[in-house]
Amino acid sequence: MSIGEVGELLRRSTVHIRTASRGRPSAGSGVIWDGDGTIVTNAHVVGKGTHLVELWDGRSLPAEVLARDNQRDLAKLKLATAGDPAAKFRTSPVKPGELAIAVGNPLGFTGALTTGVVHSVGPFEGFGRRPWVQASIRLAPGNSGGPLADAAGQIVGINTMIASGGIALAVPSPAVEDFVRNGVRPRLGVAVREVRLKQGGGVGLLIMNIDQGSPAERASLFTGDLLLGTRESAFQTAFDLADTITEAPGRIRLRFLRGDRAREREVMISLGGPFAWEAA
């Protein structure tokens, strides 16, 4: 197939998602996962409020959020309709040098197509230990949640962000499939902001909010506590905290500052719910 034909197939399984809320409305892209009306997108695309999904043929339908994983920045929505063309997700690993094709709705342009090359697959500096599909491809606001595909039109990742150097980062398809089939990862139940430490030049994660009934609340962590790391290693970014939670066998031991006093606290982690961060 030509790139034009691949792009047309991708457009049929790519949707435009709009969220209406009392705050700032948000918009982005999404991918039709199956013929039952399941949509996958980025969690940051789906804000609080009502969600409207525009399909390739112009229909606009309401959607319900079924699951949301802020750690992996993925969300699953459900349409009331069925039978729309689902995307094909690639199961074999994508390799550096392969053609990358992105379709989305950047800056309000519906179904825009861009091409590039897969740069690498693996962790990206400053974004924790999780793997990303990294591509040299031009994206813009509105591409988030849309497909990154290979030359055959099989989706290799969900476009998420632009990192330093203009490299596009996409959540790999295996992680998307794991989320759709198995749900969200363990949670701590906090929103944090990265701050620079005065001593040593390191990074701390300032707790901005704690969810009611969350593992963080049960462990008596407080808003204003500054998370430094675990007993084994220091945090460099909020992604390190997310990776630690994901990899932990049910509990983690956190080091943190409360005022000028260093403390440690063991936290039992649980499944579901939000974990969010703000970059300073």
Bridging pattern class, strands 186-187 and 270-271? antiparallel
d(Cα 210, Cα 264) in Å, to the nearest integer?
18
Is residue 73 annotated as part of the catalytic site, yes or no?
A: yes
User: What are 127's two structure tokens?
Assistant: 């974004």
Is residue 16 annotated as part of the catalytic site, yes or no?
A: no
d(Cα 231, Cα 234) in Å, to the nearest integer?
8
The catalytic position among 26, 51, 73, 150 is 73
The catalytic position among 16, 44, 51, 119 is 44
The catalytic position among 13, 26, 144, 173 is 144
- Per DSSP, the three-state class of 256 is strand
Within the chain, how many helices (H) and strands (E) appear?
A: 4, 20
69-86 b/e (C-beta count within 10 Å ≥ 16 → b): bbbbbbbbbbbeeeebeb
Is residue 44 annotated as part of the catalytic site, yes or no?
A: yes
Residues designated catalytic: 44, 73, 144
